[in-house]
Structure 1
Amino acid sequence: MKIAIVALIVFIINVPFGALRAKHKKFSLMWWVYIHIPVPFVILIRIYSDIGFALYTYPILVGAFFLGQFVGRKYLPLKNK
């Protein structure tokens, strides 16, 4: 149950960064920055939630990370290219 809550938090954190990333050219500096800014937060959440860094947690949290980026990019109205 704890992994599901952490995955939901990771997803929610990444949605706005996905929306911000959509405003920039693919592979530009800011595009990369908006992908990598949430990473330290995800690491802190993993540490403080006591789920640790077990191998089975990686696919779940990486999936939540990129799903949040995708949803933010596709469905939030911040697209001003």
Structure 2
Amino acid sequence: MIHSQALGLASLLAFAFLVNLPLGFLRETAPKYSVRWFVYIHLSIPFIVAFRLAEGFGWNIIPLTLACAVAGQLAGGRFRRWKNR
């Protein structure tokens, strides 16, 4: 049986990645350093923090969630570039 904390961590990391896929897709259309560009990058942060706190994880999990969020942003942006070829 999977430990509930491991399942919570896996859910949190999957959420951080998946919620950033469409945001990375949209970010690719925004001019770099514009307000829209910053919004697309940072929009998921309050939701990831709320999820992290609801699951009872501390500060030590932030690097993992950040890495998954960045990976989602990059994957979404690459998908947009690939789609527009």
Number of aligned residue pairs: give it: 77
Structure 1 residue identity aligned to 2:71:
L
Give the residue type in structure 2 aligned to 1:8.
Answer: A
> Percent identity among equivalent residues?
30
TM-score by length of 2: 0.80
Which is richer in helix?
2
Provide structure 1 residue ranges, at least 5 long, that are not aligned to the other structure: none
TM-score under structure 1 normalisation? 0.84
> Please, which runs of 5 or more residues in structure 2 have no aligned partner?
1-5
**Greater RCO (CA < 8 Å, at least 6 residues apart):** 1
* RMSD, aligned α-carbons: 1.7
Q: Tell me which amino acid in the other structure corresponds to 1:59.
A: P
**Aligned-partner Cα distance in 1 for 2:64–2:53:** 16
Tell whether 2:59 aligns with 1:54. yes
